[in-house]
Amino acid sequence: MRALPTARAAITVRVPAKVNLYLGCGPLRGDGFHELVTVYHALSLFDDVTVAPADALSVTVRGEGATDVPLGAENLAARAAQLVAERAGVPPNVAITLTKGIPVAGGMAGGSADAAGALLACDALWHAGLGRDELGRLAARLGSDVPFALQGGTALGTGRGERLTPVLARGTYHWVVALAAGGLSTPVVYAELDRLRQRPGSVPPLTPRADGVLSALRTGTPAALAVAMANDLQAAALSLRPELARTLQAGRELGALAALVSGSGPTCLFLVRDAEAATGLAAALTAEGVCRSVRRATGPVAGARMLTAPER
């Protein structure tokens, strides 16, 4: 193994949640993934990923939903640390602390965000010097949404979601997110979509096209974005959790410009006109009692970024 200089202090990286302004789901591929056309958008709900030198690899989780995050081999941040260690030629001895601000299993890519944060933080900790391109390749190996968590902003995702193209997006958008009790498993939601599509009388899915959302983003007008937003996974999430229809309906009746399940759910996403409307809708949704809790957010925000500079 190469002896690399190791930063002594802990390093913290802040990573945003994502929503899909558009998620068009094509057919199931031979590798078990679906061909996607999606528009990712990074929101101002964040996880902080701290890595510190240690005698062994460990993961500690703090914040809301912490006990629902897997700590073993399936923890994406731990796997990210192992990938960087392999590349750097060092043992993956690092204590990872995840401070959750992104809902766990909520369809906002919290696990992917933690993986992206761990990639960037471990690269800095071990002075691996992998660079954004190589980190992007490692990110794609870890999960379909991980490259976007590194990049942030607003981007078109194709392939299984891992191939990113920047998009021209004007303005800042205001969002309210309604968190549900309990999570939904992403593979289970995709499998439910396949089941719904195989029912007798179902029409084959159209080729997904994000044009409507992309042109709305060029105008920077929330009302234009609202009519173009769509999510093919919504029907599957509603089939598994019918009570989410009530949350979406309440948001529409309370004045949201658009109401959509976020990714694979069960978090519901509401687009509103401005910050004042966000405060009003958040209070009204809370009063209606149609969700576990409510957050306000804006987007787009930057992707994974270092909060503490590594020691040199």
Instruction: Supply 274's token pair.
Output: 């401005």
Distance CA 98, CA 218 (A): 35
User: Residue 108 or 216: which CB sits closer to ligand C5P?
Assistant: 108
User: Residue 92 or 107: which CB sits closer to ligand C5P?
Assistant: 107
Q: CB–CB of 6/126 below 8 Å? A: yes
Determine the 3-state secondary structure of 276 from DSSP. helix
The count of C-alpha atoms lying within 13 angstroms of the C-alpha of 234, restricted to the half-sphere facing its C-beta, is 20
How far, CA to CA in Å, does 179 sit from each of 138, 165, 289, 292, 299?
30, 29, 11, 5, 18
User: Residue 108 or 250: which CB sits closer to ligand C5P?
Assistant: 108
Residue 15 beta carbon to ligand C5P: minimum distance, rounded to whole angstroms: 15
Catalytic residues: 18, 145
Tell me whether residue 76 is exposed, middle or buried, using C-beta atoms within 10 angstroms of its C-beta: 0 to 12, 13 to 18, 19 or more.
Answer: buried
Using CA atoms of 40, 42, 43, 49 in order, give the dihedral in degrees to the nearest 10: 130
Instruction: Supply 271's token pair.
Output: 């687009």
**Contact residues for ligand C5P, defined by CB under 6 A:** 32-34, 36, 143-145, 160-161, 186-187, 190
Residue 91 beta carbon to ligand C5P: minimum distance, rounded to whole angstroms: 26
Token pair 């194709």 in the structure block, residue: 158
Distance CA 210, CA 37 (A): 7
User: Residue 194 or 276: which CB sits closer to ligand C5P?
Assistant: 194
Residue 28 beta carbon to ligand C5P: minimum distance, rounded to whole angstroms: 7
Residue 234 beta carbon to ligand C5P: minimum distance, rounded to whole angstroms: 15
Residue 81 beta carbon to ligand C5P: minimum distance, rounded to whole angstroms: 17
User: Residue 18 or 34: which CB sits closer to ligand C5P?
Assistant: 34
Q: CB–CB of 140/162 below 8 Å? A: yes
